[in-house]
Homo-oligomer: A and B are copies of this chain.
């Protein structure tokens, strides 16, 4: 159990954001991105109205699309049909941002023959450049005409920025004897240090569940998945996770925290945790995934704060890139984590498919073989296990190494 969620293993299925029945998607290049082979505009729509829940960035600078999404979810009581999303331009810090975000919804609604208030917008890319609406207007009919369940990958491609791989996950699960599906897509590679939400994530399910219970599940799961992810410590202005449930699986609607809610939440946790891991592994310039588990904490918040402090440390991230077992930097980052605990009880191991080495016991270094450490650190998925030995709570955080390519990618991102 973590944050009240039962951890279960699931077999993944194909279909991403269209794995659940009744969802269709499409994506294309409308010209925002000069690379014609890269989609920059995506649309995902449910055949019927959905209950929806969302979480947003805590950055004071909020992308105009977030403001419009919030407004539409409030106005409809969380009852929407779908969303339109673009990459290459964040539509943030522009005087006409809200107006453009509303226009995106209107264009999509017109092409679909639905009400604009039932569509929500999302944008990602450069901050502070005016979003040209013409390319979107010119391609909206083509985008809507191509909607199909099998085009989930085209939509996932449309939201990618510096991402090097598409991020899609889906699983099936049972609620009250009915088979339900849940799946999603995510984007994000840099400017990732979520706080209440992260980057762009869209999750769809055919389970029947009330908006209130959707929001409860989403908030609980976000806390121990996306909010435990950091690529560079920069909290984006456009972070948003949107979760839509269209109820087509036919289960009795989930309206309280009983067994059905647990089943739903476990599936949601699996999907979001899988996407969190994919986001960390595809961090800008990353060559290695870093997973850090903090166990033995007095409470969940302390476990999260300590684990996140380690995966955020630039010095430790560089050491992982250099395959250098400089564990003093792990202890340094544990030490400046803003939580209350006794540093002199802390144990640290470094592990991977290559083995496991104990580097610190009771806050002090222990002898280890540098040769064994090299074998452990040569792998591309590195695990740091911390035990505070002062409680029963644990949490995981995800990050990546800091490399030359991170600097290269971000030294000249706008052009």
Interface residues of A (CB under 8 A from B): 58-62, 90, 92-95, 126-129, 190-191, 193, 195, 232-237, 312-315, 318-319, 321-322, 324, 326-329, 331-337, 341, 343, 360, 363-365, 402-404, 406-415
Residues on B with C-beta less than 8 A from A318 are: 406-407, 409-411, 413
Partner of A191, one of B331, B332, B413: B332
Residues on B with C-beta less than 8 A from A403 are: 407
Are A93 and B360 in touch, CB under 8 angstroms? yes
Return A162 CB to nearest CB of chain B, in Å. 11
Known contacts being A326-B414, A413-B324, is A314 close to B95, with CB within 8 Å? no
Are A336 and B126 in touch, CB under 8 angstroms? no
Kindly report how many copies of this chain are found in the complex they form together.
Answer: 2
Cα distance A326–B414 when bound, in Å?
7
CB-based nearest B residue for A336? B235
Residues on B with C-beta less than 8 A from A333 are: 234
Are B328 and A412 in touch, CB under 8 angstroms? no
Return A220 CB to nearest CB of chain B, in Å. 23
Cα distance A343–B403 when bound, in Å?
32
Are A410 and B314 in touch, CB under 8 angstroms? yes
Cα distance A344–B113 when bound, in Å?
36
Residues on B with C-beta less than 8 A from A335 are: 59-62, 235, 237
Cα distance A226–B364 when bound, in Å?
28
Q: Is the interface of A mostly helix, strand, loop or mixed?
A: loop
Are B324 and A411 in touch, CB under 8 angstroms? yes
Residues on B with C-beta less than 8 A from A236 are: 332
Residues on B with C-beta less than 8 A from A312 are: 233
Are A413 and B319 in touch, CB under 8 angstroms? yes
Are A410 and B319 in touch, CB under 8 angstroms? yes
Cα distance A127–B336 when bound, in Å?
14
Partner of A407, one of B90, B190, B343, B407: B407
Known contacts being A406-B318, A410-B314, is A237 close to B332, with CB within 8 Å? yes
CB-based nearest B residue for A129? B365
CB-based nearest B residue for A97? B364
Are A128 and B314 in touch, CB under 8 angstroms? no
Cα distance A193–B315 when bound, in Å?
12
CB-based nearest B residue for A90? B328
Sort A-B residue pairs by CB-CB distance and give the 3 closest, nearest first: A127-B328, A322-B411, A61-B335
Residues on B with C-beta less than 8 A from A319 are: 410-411, 413
Residues on B with C-beta less than 8 A from A313 are: 233-234
Cα distance A333–B335 when bound, in Å?
24
Residues on B with C-beta less than 8 A from A415 are: 324
Most buried by B among A191, A195, A318: A318
Cα distance A216–B191 when bound, in Å?
39
Cα distance A404–B322 when bound, in Å?
13
Partner of A128, one of B61, B195, B365, B414: B365
Are A61 and B363 in touch, CB under 8 angstroms? yes
CB-based nearest B residue for A326? B414
Are B363 and A331 in touch, CB under 8 angstroms? no
CB-based nearest B residue for A96? B364
Known contacts being A327-B128, A336-B59, A364-B94, is A410 close to B315, with CB within 8 Å? yes
Cα distance A319–B410 when bound, in Å?
6
